[in-house]
Amino acid sequence: MASNELTLDIQDDALRVSTASVGNVEPQLTAIGQTLQADEQLGLKVAEALPVPLLITRVGEGKVLFANAAVEQTFGYKRDRLIGRNWSCLIPKLTCRKRLEQMARQELRVRGLTVEGRRKDGQQLWLSLWQQRSVCHGVECLLTILADVTEERRETKRREQQEETLQQLLTLADRDRELIACDIHDGIIQDMTGALMHLEAVRRGIRSGSTDVDDQLQHVMQILRNGINEARRLIDGVRPPDLDRFGLAGAIQSLIDRTMTAKKVQIQFRHNLRGPRLSERAETALYRIAQECLNNVWQHSRSSRAAVKLSQNDRGVRLVVRDWGVGFSPQDVSATRFGLAGIRQRARLMGGSALIRSSPSKGCVISVTLPLDKAGTRS
């Protein structure tokens, strides 16, 4: 960011200011300090020309002796209101100021310390602080550069969140692959192995003239039917066929009907989908979120009833699932718990958001919103 960059070149009383990385601040700060001691007027001229905020404060008091134009631009204070005041208004945290005062007493240089700052209007800033001693107006002083790195910090935070999201998605994908592998091994492969063993017995029976060959074939056919059903169940886990057959509302209704039959839970379903149909990715995401929410109802909440609402307007689509079960404290639940993480990450992947509200004995409400411009619709 240009406002956080500077290079100074002082030759024969001529000043040139250009841009370079903030990493070059320290030698430039040293140059300003040396110039102040050799020629105070030129030193102040150099300080004024800097594109980043620079303060000169009295050692031990923190009283501002000089502030350049960039201080006004960054913090919103008029310079004449800062001169003579303590610069603590720019660094609100007492612990941070005390640390800086201690370093100043020990005559230690501060090199790129990240501190929290505050504008006059209360807006939070993140600053890279550089500080060293010099002499100005005939007294010992501190030269302090306060480079605004708020955007860089936000960008770093965004990257960290994206990396965390990616890691959670990879973890979820690995879990899904492991579950599919286990299902294939424990289900389909076992069925196929059993069918093969019975077919071998049938072949031996035919050769020996056995009379129960027909019964054995019936048993093989039943095993194969079980394998086919298991394969369909696995396919349903990847892309639910009900979405293509019935649409999103119909698929969720089918899911609810199966859940009520298998788990003895009463579930009320309301929907008012209108407008163009959502993209396949968005429909699959919402179906999986509804599936995970209902799994939470019968696995964890111990609630005998739940409510599901699916609504759509011009801006987006919202899915709300509520139960009246045992509830939990969201802050006490690991952020990486597969169920909750899956809900949050599926929503985030579609450009949406998930809000999970719960407390012990108060049930749980999970609200997921996907904006139409991010979720996409079918042409």
Tell me what percent of the residues of the chain surpass a pLDDT of 70.
Answer: 89
pLDDT for the residue 237:
67
pLDDT for the residue 23:
53
Query: For residue 319, is pLDDT > 80?
Result: yes
- 3-state DSSP of 276-344: CCECHHHHHHHHHHHHHHHHHHHHHHCCCEEEEEEEECCCEEEEEEEECCCCCCHHHCCCCCHHHHHHH
- 3-state DSSP of 5-60: CCEEEEECCEEEEECCCHHHHHHHHHHHHHHHHHCHHHHHHHHHHCCCCEEEEECC
pLDDT for the residue 21:
42
Residue type, 250: G
- Residue 346's H or E segment, with its range, is helix 338-349
Q: Using the 8-state DSSP alphabet, how is residue 110 labeled?
A: E
Query: For the residues 241-249, what does the mean pLDDT come to?
Result: 88
pLDDT in tens, 195-236: 888 898 888 888 888 777 888 888 888 888 888 887 877 776
Q: Is 182 left (phi over 0), alpha (psi -120 to 50) or beta?
A: alpha
pLDDT for the residue 76:
93
pLDDT for the residue 19:
35
Beta bridge partners of 116: 126
Beta bridge partners of 135: 140
CA dihedral 123→129→134→140, nearest 10 degrees, is 50
Query: For residue 17, is pLDDT > 70?
Result: no
User: Chain-wide mean pLDDT for the chain?
Assistant: 83
Quickly state the pLDDT bin for 54 (edges 50, 70, 90).
Answer: very high
**Residue predicted with more confidence, 105 or 223:** 223
Query: For residue 73, is pLDDT > 70?
Result: yes
Domains of the chain: 2-148 (3.30.450.20), 242-379 (3.30.565.10)
Length of the chain counted residue by residue:
379
pLDDT for the residue 93:
86
Query: For residue 185, is pLDDT > 50?
Result: yes
Q: Using CA atoms, how far apart are residues 220 and 214, in angstroms rounded to an integer?
A: 10
pLDDT for the residue 334:
54
How do beta strands 266-272 and 305-312 pair?
parallel
Quickly state the pLDDT bin for 333 (edges 50, 70, 90).
Answer: low
Query: For residue 302, is pLDDT > 90?
Result: no
**Residue predicted with more confidence, 206 or 185:** 206
Question: For the chain, what percentages of helix, strand and coil (3-state, to nearest 5) are there?
Answer: 55, 25, 20
Ranked by mean pLDDT, the top range of 24-28, 133-137, 146-150, 238-242 is 146-150
pLDDT for the residue 192:
86
